[in-house]
Amino acid sequence: MGPASEVAAVEVSTMFFFITIVLGSIWARPAWNTWWTWDPRLTTAAVTELIYIAYFMLRAGIEDPEKRARFGAVYTLLGGISAPITFMVIRLFRTIHPVVVGNASAAAEGGFDMTPNMLTAMFVALGVFTVLFIDLMWHRIRMGRLEEKVEQLKLKVSM
């Protein structure tokens, strides 16, 4: 795994997570009668997206490729912690967000079990989006390698 794979993973995740937040907001409107509320799940999701965006700002701010790769790797490892926190937060705090997977939290007010039809739809969607993620990441990695090649050539030509 090089910087190209790292950037690809964060970029595709940022795009998918943005869709998740917007779609969650669209779901919340008829379900909660509001587009947005500072519920623990929504707050941690927004923070996670901001952490992802900040990764690109960090990379853009460092010119030395080696330093950029090292700082980027450390940031990605630390930033990655926000994903399990976002997953667990509705199980740890009182929230209006439903706990759909592993519904065992008494604190979650909107908990519900999925019907067989919903389960089928969820697994089909999970499969489709996994394939999409892998495909987009593959294309982004190829682009990243091209970026690295251009950057190296630029340094070579300018010397």
Partner 1 sequence: METVNTDGYMTAGYIVAFLVMGLYVLSIYIRSKNLRRDLETLEDMETAEKK
Site residues (CB under 8 A) for partner 1?
12, 15, 18-19, 22-23, 26-27, 29-30, 132, 136, 139-140, 142-143, 146-147, 149-150, 153-154, 156-157
* Backbone CA torsion sign across 26, 30, 35, 37: negative
Q: Which is nearer to partner 1, 27 or 123 (CB)?
A: 27
Among 75, 24, 14, smallest CA distance to 48 is for: 14
Closest CB 150 distance from partner 1, rounded Å: 5
Query: Looking at beta carbons only, is 7 or 108 nearer to partner 1?
Result: 7
- Residue with smaller CB distance to partner 1, 6 or 89: 6
Question: Please, what is the minimum distance in Å from the beta carbon of residue 138 to partner 1?
Answer: 11
The CB-of-31 to partner 1 minimum distance in angstroms stands at: 9
- Which residue, 131, 128, 151, 124, is CA-closest to 63? 151
CB nearer to partner 1: pick between 109 and 151: 151
Min. distance of Cβ 108 from partner 1 in angstroms? Answer: 22
* Of residues 24 and 80, the one with the C-beta less far from partner 1: 24
- Calpha distance 51→80 (Å, rounded): 9
In DSSP terms, 108 is beta-bridged to 95
Please state the closest distance from residue 82 (CB atom) to partner 1, in A: 21
Burial call 115-146: b when 16+ CB within 10 Å, e when fewer: eeeeeeeeeeeeeeeeeeeeeebeebbeebee
Those residues whose C-beta lies under 8 Å from the C-beta of residue 45, and which sit 6 or more positions away, are 17, 20, 21, 24, 86
